[in-house]
Amino acid sequence: MDSADDSYDEIMAQAGNDGKFQNRYNLLFNFGAICFASMSYMSIILALNKPPHNCHVPGMEHYNITDPDLWKNLTLPRETDNRGQLGYSKCQMYNVTEQHLQRHYTEWNFESSDIIDCAYGYEYDRTYYDRTPITEYDWICDKGFRETNIFIYNRLGELVGTVVFGHLGDTLGRRPVFQLSIVIVTVGRLVSMFTAAYYAVFCVAAVVGSLTAHSIFQSPLIIAMEISKSERRGHISMMQCIGWTTGLCILPMVFWATKDWFWALLITVTPIILFVFIPRYV
């Protein structure tokens, strides 16, 4: 086996394994493509960010109260969160009835038996996000498991995809698998953008988008290792790490600038499809 590898390395050395082609390839596919691939892969995590929230309790305008914290103090019970910090309840409220609204709020006296689940929807902190699937469809409280389940399904998709596309890479070749990986992650994320109202379909799309989480990175790396001299392999791996990190640095800035999960996904997912059309001999 070693002699076969040595023969291959000798042939590549004679053909050229450290020229302009390798440099262009690594810059395009092990930096540029990986930068966009990391954004495509990780975008679903930021899109499913759960902002601070609490029950919406109508009646604030009835008393001309302009301080939201005062209204929260009147209408929301206190609870200790999973970090041990005391704050307003995220999923429960005091049962403010018409009888309460007929009296001044200073006369209110709620007890634990007056606590009910949110009856009038929710209010979200929109400092960083104007819109996410969670804020659009209230995936919180009794639906809070949905976000967690999607992340679990993503990991299962990665597990299945690693086995399937790893085998396909050995049989079909790295280049077609890389191109297929780009198409799959793009389709999965784009379908997710339009199906958040249909939870089951959204989950399937999220799984599809995560199937190629590893092959989209491994394929160009293996190709580069095979066509480059052995002394450059550490440098190639470093280029991938820099590309990955660059994408992860750009991704939150896109979400910060748009404050909308739909447009953030569109901006961070679609550019990678261009790498499918780069010719073989670039």
DSSP string, 134-173: HHHHT-SGGGTHHHHHHHHHHHHHHHHHHHHHHHHHHHT-
Q: Which domains does the chain have, with CATH numbers?
A: 15-49+144-277 (1.20.1250.20), 53-124 (no CATH)
Q: What percent of the chain stands above pLDDT 70?
A: 92
> Which amino acid is residue 62, in one-letter code?
H
Q: What is the DSSP string of 18-39?
A: SSHHHHHHHHIIIIIHHHHHHH
The yes-or-no verdict on residue 15 having pLDDT over 60 is no
Name the nearest CA neighbour of 165 among 219, 241, 221. Answer: 219
The yes-or-no verdict on residue 18 having pLDDT over 80 is no
Give 202-230 pLDDT, tens digit per residue.
999 999 999 998 899 989 998 888 877 77
| pLDDT, position 192 | 94
> Which amino acid is residue 281, in one-letter code?
Y
pLDDT mean over 137-144 = 92
CA angle 121, 118, 196 (to 5 degrees): 45
Q: What share of the chain is helix, strand, coil (3-state, %, to 5)?
A: 70, 5, 25
Contact 68, 76 (CB under 8 A): no
What does the DSSP 8-state code read for residue 131? B
The yes-or-no verdict on residue 7 having pLDDT over 80 is no
Give 54-63 pLDDT, tens digit per residue.
999 988 887 8
> Which amino acid is residue 141, in one-letter code?
C
Q: What percent of the chain stands above pLDDT 90?
A: 55
> Which amino acid is residue 169, in one-letter code?
G
210: tokens are: 């995560």
Contact 137, 186 (CB under 8 A): no
Distance from C-alpha of 279 to C-alpha of 23, rounded to nearest angstrom: 16
Q: What is the DSSP string of 199-263?
A: HHHHHHHHHHHHTTTTHHHHHHHHHHHHHS-GGGHHHHHHHHHHHHHHHHHHHHHHHHHH-BHHH
Strand partners, 53: 124
